[in-house]
Structure 1
Amino acid sequence: MPLPNGVSPTGEIQSICPSAGWLGNRGTLHDANGAIVRPWQRKAWVTCLLSYKGRNRKPLMQPGRYTELFFLDEATALAAGHRPCGECRREDYNHFKRAWVLGNKRTNDTTIADIDLAMHAERTSAMDDHSRMHELGSLPPGVLVVWAERPHLWRGNLLLKWSPKGYVAVASGWLMTSNVRLITPPSVAHALGAGYVARLHESARQFG
């Protein structure tokens, strides 16, 4: 069943999420009428399980509560700048934090607040920054990139076209040396390169 507040790989909140695999939280973004009035409220953007310990989130977007956001999969959530939640996804949270510290060559005393600040700076920087341009073959599996003006998932050997309902086609015409624009925040891409594995929507499996 479609849910509201689908999030695109670039972090934009859309009216619906046709295929929701994950829940997200950026704070309270809606007003008393249920209209989205701000893109974020806090700098810690997290990705949660759709269901955890029987907690009832219905109705959605209750007054004064956080705004429920929804993602196709974890690769999409990471691209949008959301990290694993430390409560409902503790194991993933620990894996991500270790990989982020390792991939970004930070010291072991780096806190999750430090990571949130770094990711927030990346989320609010210009997407057309030249530093976002990379050779496709230099990027780790699990990142999302712009190819042919559309978001695509890079799997290391395949480039899959993203849609709100799932991955719909294998892209053609690319080379390992093709220049692409990285959507996933660079520090998150480094975490993926250091061993964190993003969970993908089931549609990605049909392409091998």
Structure 2
Amino acid sequence: MMPLQNRVLPNGDIIATSDRGTLMGNRGLLHNDHKEVVRPFRLKAWITCALEFKGRKRQLMSPGMYTELFFLDEVTALAAGHRPCAECRRPRFNEFKQAWQLAHSESADGKLKVAEIDAILHEQRLSPDGSRPLWQANLAELPIGTMIERDGGYYAVHASGLLPWHIDGYGQALAGATEGQVMVVTPRATVAVLAAGYEPAFHESANSDRRARNGLEARLKAGS
């Protein structure tokens, strides 16, 4: 059975893969009756949801229902332009909203509406022609959790360095990659939220012990 097209890349594209994600989300109804994705989004509210919530069960890509999307982790989801769901991830949404208000002075009066966040993110994740806009910044100034594009691939800013992103997890940190101008994938507004203190969840492969173990296994396999 072919995998469904429901896995989101850091640039927001949706692909088909058998690899599982650690977060779900949606952008509205994107698929047709044949479970084929026919549009990149339907709503400006791009959210990330918990895989389980109050015992609810869903049939993926049901006719007329929103399209269930999946992400490697929250870092990936934020890069793609999504934000935490205000229902199933309410505590995380509250943290995101608080950091947003700290980062954006115009929202500091406490009257920030979710629609305002969605409108700003929508402007920053899509160019007029529908392509994904990138922006330039100094790597040394980017907060942990930011995703950049480099040499045709994606890398996440992590405490241990730049981690190469793969569909199934992160690789070993790049040696000596600490500064210089880079192309940023994560929307500017979200990067400001990260800089204001919001700490996104990384996939377990970002753990240094896990990466070291994976690297050893790969070397042993290559030598066998």
**Same fold, judged at TM 0.5 (above):** yes
Alignment-derived partner of residue 180 in structure 1: 182
Aligned pairs (5 A) from 1:36-115: 36-58=37-59, 60-107=60-107, 108-115=110-117
CA distance in 1, matches of 2:20, 2:164: 15
* Aligned mate of 2:193, from 191, 194, 208: 191
Q: Tell me the SS of whatever aligns to 1:162.
A: strand
Q: Determine which structure has greater relative contact order: mean sequence separation of CA pairs < 8 Å that are 6+ residues apart, divided by chain length.
A: 1
CA distance in 2, matches of 1:175, 1:123: 25
Q: Tell me the SS of whatever aligns to 1:109.
A: coil
Alignment-derived partner of residue 142 in structure 1: 145
> For residue 82 of structure 1, what is the amino acid of its counterpart?
H
Deviation at residue 161 of structure 1 after TM alignment = 0.1
5+ residue gaps, structure 2, are 213-224
Deviation at residue 100 of structure 1 after TM alignment = 1.1
Contact 1:137 1:156 in 2 (8 A): no
The TM-score with structure 1 as length reference comes to 0.92
Is residue 155 of structure 1 aligned with residue 158 of structure 2? Answer: yes
Alignment-derived partner of residue 34 in structure 1: 35
The structure with more helix, counted as a fraction of residues: 2
Deviation at residue 203 of structure 1 after TM alignment = 0.1
Contact 2:156 2:162 in 1 (8 A): yes
Deviation at residue 150 of structure 1 after TM alignment = 1.0
Greater Cα radius of gyration, structure 1 or 2: 2
CA distance in 2, matches of 1:136, 1:19: 30
Q: CA RMSD in A?
A: 1.7
Deviation at residue 128 of structure 1 after TM alignment = 5.0
5+ residue gaps, structure 1, are none
Deviation at residue 98 of structure 1 after TM alignment = 1.0
Go from structure 1 to structure 2 and tell me whether the alpha carbon gap of 1:17 and 1:102 turns closer, same or farther (over 3 Å shift): farther
- Farther-moved stretch of structure 1 (146-155 vs 104-113): 104-113
Alignment-derived partner of residue 165 in structure 1: 168
Q: Tell me the SS of whatever aligns to 2:186.
A: coil
> For residue 111 of structure 1, what is the amino acid of its counterpart?
K
Give me the identity figure in percent.
41
Q: Tell me the SS of whatever aligns to 1:6.
A: strand
Q: Tell me the SS of whatever aligns to 2:118.
A: helix
